[in-house]
Amino acid sequence: MRSRATVPAWVVRLYGRWRKKRTAWFATGICVAVAVLICAPLLMIPGGSLMDGAEMRQILSPILGDGRGFAAWHLIPVYPTIGHFYRLLIESPAFYQLFWNTVGMTAAILLGQLVVGLPSAWAFAAFRFRGRDFLFGLYVVLMLLPFQVMLLPQYIVLQKLHLYNHPAAVILPAVFSTFPVFIMYRGFTQIDAEILEAARLDGAGELQIFFRIGLPLGRMGIQAAMVLSFLEYWNLVEQPMAFLEEQATWPLSLYLPQITISQAGFAFAVAVMVLIPALFVFALGQDALEEGIAYIGVKG
């Protein structure tokens, strides 16, 4: 204490401010480094998709076969070409089929989840009925189970319904997934219960309340559920692998790993086409996405 008394007050103040700033800079530095590390692998993709086949073969030759030396990577290709995109977009009609398979599947699932899931979520949020807590608990458990546990049960039912090897084998179970119900439910619980009470007192019908109050006020939860579902189903792998035998009905996400590394440039071009819609939705739905994840953790 005595030593401090000899230091002018403004020096102490400046030092304190610097110390505070220093911590902030330090924290920012670490977090930026982590964020960059996380995003870095993605930087390989655009370059790879525009890289000439010969250049790619040359830098990847250690992986591709001769077994000596190490592969290198050029973030910006030395001989850029749009040849892979030309081959993919102009010369491969199969690509469009797979692309539209993915789009169709994802769209059908999202639409189905809205039609089926919204009323369910509303039922859990707006009404107290017998067995509600038990049923809701069941929904939560189902949403948390990994797919492999449901693999055999779903196979059995899809066989019984003669849906095996039909796109509906992937779509229908996903439509009745309980995860979006949970997220939308969380969105609905943010609505003040008094508003619903008031509406009921004023003689509004239940349907009216659902459409006029529930849907507009629970918007955030609905958006969050849709963004999370899109990212999940755009990236489907296990379900089509297990239930769809015909390659013509596959989504892109299952087709991409079939391209061997010797055609890496072409694979990167496909990757760009798979990535663009996902990044687009990610960018648009960011707030909803973060909100949705927070819904999972915080007690409603």
Give, as ranges, the residues between 145 and 164 that touch another protein (CB under 8 A): 145-157
The whole-angstrom separation of Cα 263 and Cα 271 is 12
Window 166-205: contact mask with another protein (x via CB under 8 A): ------xx-xx-x--x------------------------
**DSSP at 116:** I
Identity of the residue, 209 or 249, whose beta carbon is nearer to another protein in the bound complex: 209
Q: Residues 247 to 286: which contact another protein by CB under 8 A?
A: 252-254, 256-257, 261, 264, 267-268, 271, 274-275, 278-279, 281-282, 286
- Name the one residue in this structure whose structure tokens are 């989840």: 113
- Report the Cα 165 to chain-centroid distance in Å: 25
CB–CB of 290/282 below 8 Å?
no
Size, binding site for another protein by CB under 8 A: 98
Q: How far is CA 4 from the centre of its chain?
A: 55
Q: Which of residues 2-31 bind another protein (CB under 8 A)?
A: 24, 27-28, 30-31
Among 227, 144, 218, CA closest to 178: 144
Q: Which of 7, 54, 76, 144 binds another protein (CB under 8 A)?
A: 144
- Structure-token pair, residue 285: 């739905």
Give the contact letters, 50-79, x = binds to another protein (CB under 8 A), - = no.
Answer: ----------x-xx---xxxxxxx------
* 35 is an interface residue for another protein by CB under 8 A: yes
By CB under 8 A, name the one of 1, 5, 9, 38 that touches another protein. Answer: 38
User: Considering only residues 95-114, where is the footprint of another protein by CB under 8 A?
Assistant: none
**Which among 26, 82, 73, 24 has a CA at the least distance from the CA of 52?**
82
Burial class (CB in 10 A: 0-12, 13-18, 19+), 76: exposed
Residues 206-225 that bind another protein (CB under 8 A): 210
